[in-house]
Amino acid sequence: MTTAHGNTDKAGPFSHLFKRRYSCPNMLNSLPMTRFKDLVDQAKPLLCDPDALTLAQLGSLLPLDLWQRVDISDTKVGFKRPGIHILYRSDWHPPICHFNHGTGEWTDEECIRFNQDLWYVHILHPTVEFLMCNKSHSEWDNATSPPPLRHKFSYHVERGGVYLLQGGELYGLRSGVDYVDLLCILDRMARASAEAHVLYFTHWTSPHIHFRKPNSRWTEPAGIVCNAFSGRVWHAAMPFYHGVSFLLHDGDGSFWDRAPGNGNYVLRDAGLYLLVEGRILRPECLRRRQNLLRFVVPGLKLALADASAGPFAKPSMAASPGSSPTTRTTQPPSLPTSSPPGSPSYSPSSRPAES
């Protein structure tokens, strides 16, 4: 067992504990490991809803705190309707959409609240010029040309579809779904179910996870075995408690993966995460990390097929909203080494330290 001081003792004073199995109903070990397919099964209604799939793209565009509050099952939007659908991030209550659809006459349409600071307006025309303002028309949100000109002008939309306007930028949401969108939906479902799911990148062939809720005891050795996901990616699930701590080992307790600084990994929110080289990433990060996404896609495709989830056959690889698909890199990611630093002791007087 690798100690916190970096000395290696394969046998270790507690290595005999890893040969035992525990069935006490009060132990976290007795909880069945939720499969990734179970998470997909729970999310099937959203995975089969075109509007929810469209809104899932907001996971890569909105700040995390706002994205978490967006109800992607909301029924007051209907993106199948023809025309232009605008989601607008604003602290005006309510904002007004001031638009002209080519007739020369300007019309006001009051936005309806979609979420706390996210508003929605539907314009039944395929081409429109518009601005946003507050209800008294005393403050305006204009498009701004790049420096050094910085001219003020209207926003222009040349075809029907769904758009997000925030911070002076207008984003066109894609009509097709990609794998990052699906992972964002699964992240939302994990949050709704108060579960924490981790996709773990490692060379180990049988990683185990140990976890505990705050001020409680750890899972007993040898922990809970992770489920195979795809290639060198493994899946682990935990019931979520705010501040839940976890770490992983290679299966026999010889080597441990702990957070940087030799501490424990800690999650503050339920959801779906990726653990790569000591870093905890969120699903939307994969839009910029295509080299990691390609390791996740095979397992995701298998889970979707097993659950018969979604009307799609082959979702596209991740693409930036409003742009062409990103070219995938062929360079594989570097994965955790076989000897992560540090190892907790499971003696009654010595448990893993809090991060």
Question: Among 85, 79, 76, which Cα is nearest to 114's?
Answer: 76
Are 182 and 322 in a shared domain? yes
pLDDT in tens, 107-119: 999 999 888 789 9
Pick from 149, 172, 195: which residue ends a domain? Answer: 172
With bands split at pLDDT 50, 70 and 90, how would you rate the model's confidence at 171?
very high
Task: Indicate if 50 and 184 belong to the same structural domain.
Answer: yes
- pLDDT tens, 6-21? 222 233 222 333 333 3
The answer to whether residues 34 and 124 belong to one domain is no
Domain boundary among the residues 172, 205, 224 is at 172
Same-domain check for residues 235 and 183: yes
Mark whether 237 and 334 lie in a shared domain. Answer: yes
Q: Tell me how many domains the chain contains.
A: 2
Question: Does one domain contain both 150 and 219?
Answer: no
pTM: 0.73
Query: pLDDT by residue (tens digit) across 320-350?
Result: 454 333 222 333 333 434 333 333 333 222 2
Closest CA to 47 of 305, 318, 325, 320: 305
Residue 91 sits in a domain whose CATH number is 2.60.40.10
d(CA 72, CA 57): 10
Range of the domain at 116: 55-172
For 271-334, give the secondary structure using H, E and C. Answer: EEEEEECCEEECHHHHHCCHHHHHHHHHHHHHHHHHHCCCCCCCCECCECCCCCECCCCCCCCC
189 and 326 housed in the same domain: yes
Q: Does residue 8 sit in the same domain as residue 125?
A: no
Q: What is the pLDDT of residues 75-93, one digit of tens each?
A: 666 788 889 999 999 999 9
Tokens of 323: 């742009």
